[in-house]
Amino acid sequence: MDEQTGRLIGDVWADINPLNSQATERLHYPTQKPLTLLERIITASSNPGDVVLDPFCGCGTAVDAAQRLHRQWIGIDVTFLAVDLIDTRMRDTYPEIAGTYEIVGIPKDIEGAAALFGRNPFDFERWAVSLVDGTPNEKQVGDKGSDGVIRFPIDGKAVGKVIVSVKGGKQLNPAMVRDLAGTLEAQRAELGLLIVMDEITRGMIDAAAHSGTWTNPTTQKLYRKVQIVSIRDLLAGKTPDLPSAFLPYLQAQRFAPDHPTLPGL
């Protein structure tokens, strides 16, 4: 096809392969498109500095391509899982644009968190897991003790796990802490984190204190095996005492721009 110079491009493009299971850009999102495809579409239909709108942006391939090609962008999706994935993808690929774009529709205070829980408890769980850089479950699995996982490096080869459990209701009790401790044993995870909407009870604090400890073999730092944090504390910037985590979903290859990029809107 490269030898046929001067020929108008057709509406069937056979030179861009679909993503396979081994593709480095694969994010395990069911409708993900190749980045090369979106780069071609955006290059052919816009100029640097233009605004690209993707109203059903999924895992954010169009947003990624727009940023890479020095366009401004607006992405819209109905699920929080997609929004969180796009935010993580952009922060990991373009660290220099962190804080230059706004995420609309995500809770910023306890009232917004309560409204999200009332509207969609599953989206609330996924949002809560994202607050601690965890990967939320893709599908709702019921009350199985795990709503997401945080992965962290241990010694350069081994990867540790923090099981995250989210409780948005008001009926909190120490059994929830003990259940999470049992889930850690069943899944052979190093640590557990319980995120709650309501106030943490004294019984829960006592149960967490008796959950035991785990020592990082590389740093020798001691961690409480099960920890509890409230949504209110997370929104206030308080973070649990956990090892430095991998960013969820992916470790994207960072983009080295040839000149300063334009932020999203």
pLDDT by residue (tens digit) across 159-187? 999 999 999 988 999 999 999 999 999 99
Name the pLDDT band for 30 (thresholds 50, 70, 90).
Answer: confident
**CATH architecture, range 110-235:** 3-Layer(aba) Sandwich (3.40)
Indicate whether 46 pLDDT > 50.
yes
Kind and range of the H or E run holding 178 = helix 174-187
pTM for the predicted model, two decimal places: 0.71
- The pLDDT of residue 144 is 59
Q: In b/e form, how buried is each residue of 78-103, taking b as 16+ CB within 10 angstroms? A: eebbbbbbbbbbbebbbeebeeebee
- The pLDDT of residue 258 is 53
pLDDT by residue (tens digit) across 204-236? 999 999 999 999 998 999 999 999 999 999 999
List phi, psi (to 5°) of 152: -145, 150
What's the rounded Cα separation, in Å, for the pair 62 and 163? 32
What's the rounded Cα separation, in Å, for the pair 151 and 163? 9
Residues in the chain: 265
